[in-house]
Amino acid sequence: MSHRMESLALLFLSIAQPVAGWLSHFTHRGKTIEERSDAAGGRVTPAKGAFAIWGPLFAGNVALAVRSFFRSRFETPLNRWIAWLSATAFAGNTAWGVQAQFGGLGWPSFAIISASAIAASAATIASERAAMDTGFARLAANTIGPLAGWLTVATFANLESTLNETQGRLPERAATRRAVALVGAASAAATGMAIATRGNPGYAAAAAWGLGGVMLRNQRESRPEVATAATIGLCTVAVATLFCRRRLRA
């Protein structure tokens, strides 16, 4: 029964994530996530094309849930813990989508996305520890890792949007300085997580994708300070990941 509850939660929430993002379209109320982002987003918000990553992220989440659903049981108690952490991350993403559309990108949305990032990161760390032992953990490492990587960067982008929405936009130079600090913090968090996850390739790729999107946006908008900070962060994550992977092979 316990396995079935966890598997059903994973399956339901993995599907709820993309559906929640379209509720404003279905109900004709609130504002779309794109509209909210355009209104409150800033220099730490990646270029629009970067958000295409949600397609493979959602697909990976559903694949993990389907795999769990058709297994008779989890192989280890740690796998059960990974499943609940993953379900928590999916629930947070679903709640964030609803909050962003109908409540805006204020402090509640920042709290929700931060919790989702923490849950996905914890699930990735746990799955990396068990990846050599069970198939479920290996799949979780490959599917939750990218979600955690993207959410790490998205958390700091959401913080900037929250500050813009609740306190108003800063003057140009002050906004740029704040963006450099936030990108630096996002890079430090992503680098630390790359080490904690033993160089999980999916985590690093998604975090680098997010930082690359920040770099591209600021290059286009002629903000070299922010673009440089994002480039340095991307390189730092890559170096930390390669170092950890090399140590694992040694």
| Residues 56-76: tens digit of each pLDDT | 999 999 999 998 888 756 667
DSSP run (H or E) holding 178: helix 172-196
Q: Domain range for residue 179?
A: 2-249
pLDDT at 1 over 50: no
Q: Which residue has the tokens 């990553």?
A: 53
Q: What is the DSSP string of 237-250?
A: HHHHHHHHHHHHH-
What is the residue-averaged pLDDT of the chain?
92
Rounded alpha-carbon distances, angstroms, from residue 32 to 107, 118, 178: 18, 25, 26
pLDDT, residue 72, reads 57
Structural domain count of the chain = 1
Token pair, residue 27, equals 């109900």
Q: Locate the DSSP E strands across 67-161.
A: none
Region 222-238: mean pLDDT is 97
pLDDT, residue 2, reads 56
What is the torsional sign of CA 88, 238, 229, 222? negative
pTM value? 0.94
CA distance 143 to 120: 10
CA distance 66 to 134: 16
- Confidence category of residue 210, pLDDT binned at 50, 70, 90: very high
